Structure 1
């Protein structure tokens, strides 16, 4: 297991080495802190140049809910993909529960995302994520994510 201190950070190049999302769906800019196997904190800086703002909406640009959820998910997977043995593995959603949207996110906002890993067994990660803009809650939810390469090792063989 990685022995990185909780104050360790990952720039965009390190994020790309650790997980599989790429432009235009790489939706975190920096991991500002992580404790492998426990937690990760990331930021996303929104500018009007984001691909979704012109269509959502021209007269009132704001971050679509699915983009917010994906930003949370990408931070969540960093709680375990920052561990050497899982680095770069593919992940898949299993479930998303208790999602709440508390505020509109607009161009110029910096979203801070905090993820906590509660359990990671047999390729199934469970935890919670919350986000905020300037300390004001934005979006939160509980996530279950699978790592198929690990999960497959535990499937019954016929």
Structure 2
């Protein structure tokens, strides 16, 4: 299993767009993007030094939404994304605002020093310079999260 960091995700997205099949000869290019449900799923171990492994579905769309990026975390029982910080001074993790939308399951989200319970339909904004992490606290079901992150570095 791989270790996950934003650089790995961005590299996977770039590679995925380079490997995408070219449109048929003579066909008009699409103005929209469609990605198959099974495309771009990878399993990563110890995401941000969290527990266990997480399946991650990265949405690439050929880089069209930059500086935003989208992914789905599928977190098994007992696993977590470790508590981490995105800010302008640490190029390793990047400068990201993150928006967590809980698709299904139950979790405990840590935002700075506060632990909050989250469940399907909840939306949490973790701004730049704010510690964040999430764990699956359900005894039986996986925790699925749609995560949007916005690159706030000066290069975007």
Q: TM-score, normalised by structure 2?
A: 0.35
Task: Give the number of the structure whose residues are more often strand, by fraction.
Answer: 2
* TM-score (normalizing by structure 1): 0.34
